[in-house]
Chain A
Amino acid sequence: MFQVPWSEYSVDLWEGLLKTLSYTAVGFVGAALLGLAVALMRLSPARPLRIPAVLYTEVFKNVPLLAVIFLTYFGLGSIGLKLDAFQAGTLSLVIFYAAYLSEIFRSAINGVHGGQQEAAEALGMRRISTFGKVVFPQALRLALPGTNTMLVDLLKSTSLLVTISAAELMSQGRLITSATFRALEVYLVIAAVYFVLCYPLSQGLLWFERRIQAGTPLSVGRRRRLRAAKALLDRKMSAQEMSTQEMSAQEITTPEVRA
């Protein structure tokens, strides 16, 4: 069954794989940024921002990705806006997945309790830091599962770019097939490569989700502050006598904050 001289094609496969990963990375980052912008527009109190955002989301949720790819590559090309395959491919992925991600982000931001915004406001935090330090991190936790699903889905959808000969994995598979006429063998191998990419990715993302849900602080700043607080607590605890009367053993009391 295995008669394709794979060693001759390993460079092509490797390049296809790198291309697939580039489409995925650029497409996903772009889609996440655009999706966040669209989500914020939809949540804005200003109608002139909300309406185009709603239109955008609804249109691209209800159009197949392949149609978007053809429109950006052949369609725009026919009116003189010639994009190369990489530009058209990433643009299509960004436009298409931003619509889905905006929905995920919007419901995540909505899912953060209103009291949170209020508590931050009452603490004198400005709007931008309220969003950045209170609403966004909580929304991120809510959005993570859906976003991760979309990332894996996007990776798999890059295979549709075979239709514009985008030089990614699937396109390489087609080239190898036309040179060897071993479609079953070639596409089995290509499918296996996708699996080997996607399975660890989705498992890794699940692991990441669990860590985030468990409250593991990921940012350098948080870790540093927590370390500083712990050091301070340890120091003061050992310096003090546990000389308190009515409190339970584990509680430490001092009548004054700082001498």
Chain B
Amino acid sequence: MTEVTENRTATDVLTIAGLSKSFGGRLVLDDVSLSVHRSTITAIIGQSGGGKTTLLRCLNLLERPDRGLIAVDGEPIFDRRVVCRDLPELRRSVGMVFQRFNLFPHLTAVENVILAPLDAGVPEREAVERAVGLLRRVRLTHRATAYPEQMSGGEQQRVAIARALALRPSVLLFDEPTSSLDPESTGEVLRVMRELAGDGMTMVLVTHELSFARDVADRVVFVDGGRIVEEGEPGQVLGNPREPRTREFLTHFSQSHQSKE
């Protein structure tokens, strides 16, 4: 049992039902429903423009859905309108890691991790201890006082993971966490994520790392045109997809990524 995994009894960390969202009249999410169980990894795959980022952003209400229901830890946070009492509090239980890291460039690595807990009222001593512990966890204690611009992409993304963990969220959302990284950095970040998975962290991750999804994910969700086309065990969805659209995507994907793998 480590500090990030919380021991709650409910099995669903996230429940999404009938979620829709359009931008300027164009439907980007169309009636999406999904459940995420505690201590599982859900990998969302699909072509770019399919609505994966929008889906993730809806989950901590960075984006307001038009319709549908979202519940976190069994508590509805959105039910046709925002219903959670306190948006900041909700966001502390739903951590987010961005594709482009978005670290705070004016603060050192350890201060990046400290900032949000301090703001949430965690005593300074504890916030510092927590941050140092988390930097250790992402193997970056030696970079604690470096500024983001002095770090490699992989290091920055690992700091971003530590930062997102600092509030002890119920679930971590990752939006293509490795797609702006070189292969070595990608390996470092995936390794940290693998360890988090081993520790029982609940994660939802948009990714193009299909082999990582196959190894680590408990469920794979294929999103296309704003809809969940297919969802299931990684072996089934990636190895033996039911839907023609999924098969087509995987075929194209393996062709265009053959050189990389």
Residues of A within 8 A of B (CB): 113, 115-116, 118-126, 129, 133-134, 137-138, 141, 215, 222, 224-226, 228-230, 232-233, 236-237, 247, 250-254, 256-258
Contacts and interface: CB of A to CB of B under 8 A. Distances in A.
Contacts of A232: 128-129, 132
B16 to A, nearest CB: 18
Interface string B131-163: 111101101111011010000000000000001
B182 interface: no
**Residue among A123, A230, A250 with the highest chain B CB neighbour number at 10 A:** A123
B60 A122 contact: yes
B167 interface: yes
Contacts of A225: 110-111, 114, 124, 127-128
Contact of A122 (B62, B104, B129, B145): B62
B105 A236 contact: no
Contacts of B114: 225, 229
Contacts of B119: 123-126, 129, 133
Contact of A233 (B88, B89, B144): B144
A258 B114 CA distance: 17
B132 A125 contact: no
A228 B126 CA distance: 11
B91 interface: yes
A198 to B, nearest CB: 29
Contacts of B142: 250-252
A211 to B, nearest CB: 13
Given A252-B139, A252-B141, A228 B98 contact: no
A216 to B, nearest CB: 11
Contact of B139 (A133, A134, A247): A247
A124 B115 contact: no
Interface of B is mostly: helix
Interface of B: 2-4, 60, 62, 87-92, 95-96, 98, 100, 102-108, 110-111, 114-116, 119-120, 124-125, 127-129, 131-134, 136-137, 139-142, 144-145, 147, 163-164, 167
Nearest to B164: A123
A126 B86 CA distance: 10
Given A121-B62, A254-B136, A257-B134, A226 B108 contact: yes
Nearest to A227: B128
Contacts of A251: 139-142
Nearest to A123: B116
Given A251-B139, A256-B2, A115 B102 contact: yes
A151 to B, nearest CB: 22
